[in-house]
């Protein structure tokens, strides 16, 4: 199961002195794609938090291949890597307007109870959305 964003333009403020997109922005791009996908599936982070479900990122990996520059456009592909249990495991691939792979990566989000601060199982409504 996967989702790909529409093309996104690199903004000047996302670049560094070398004119590359700063490395920290790639995690923001991953999050943007993940939230956009969940929104497309009618899954609301805000509603989950109101319902007592937190989803902090507990692991993040970014593998840089070649830089993006101001004015480039790119797309982020996000893939659900495995069936949710106590975590959601996502993989990512960012490609530029030429179809070149810019970077790959992954994140793991845990389901966490806000009261106990302990892990919990994936809620049933999410399991249904991801099946």
Q: Which residues are catalytic?
A: 16
- Whole-number Å distance between alpha carbons of 48 and 54: 7
Long-range contacts made by residues 112-118, C-beta under 8 angstroms, separation at least 24? 112/53, 112/54, 112/55, 112/56, 113/52, 113/53, 113/54, 114/49, 114/52, 114/54, 115/52
Residues whose CB is less than 8 angstroms from the CB of residue 126 and which lie 6 or more positions away in sequence, other chains included: 43, 84
Q: How many CB atoms lie within 10 A of CB 36?
A: 17
């Amino acid at each position: 199961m996967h989702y790909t964003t529409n093309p996104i333009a690199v903004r000047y403020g996302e670049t560094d002195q070398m004119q590359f997109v700063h490395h920290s922005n790639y995690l923001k791009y991953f999050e943007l794609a993940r939230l956009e996908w969940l929104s497309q599936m009618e899954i609301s982070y805000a509603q989950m938090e109101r319902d007592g479900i937190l989803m902090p990122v507990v692991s993040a990996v970014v593998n840089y291949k070649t830089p993006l520059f101001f004015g480039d456009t790119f797309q982020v592909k996000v893939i659900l890597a495995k069936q949710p249990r106590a975590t959601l495991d996502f993989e990512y691939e960012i490609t530029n307007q030429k179809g070149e792979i810019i970077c790959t990566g992954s994140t793991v989000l845990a389901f966490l109870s806000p009261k106990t601060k302990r892990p919990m199982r994936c809620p049933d409504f999410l399991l249904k959305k991801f099946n």
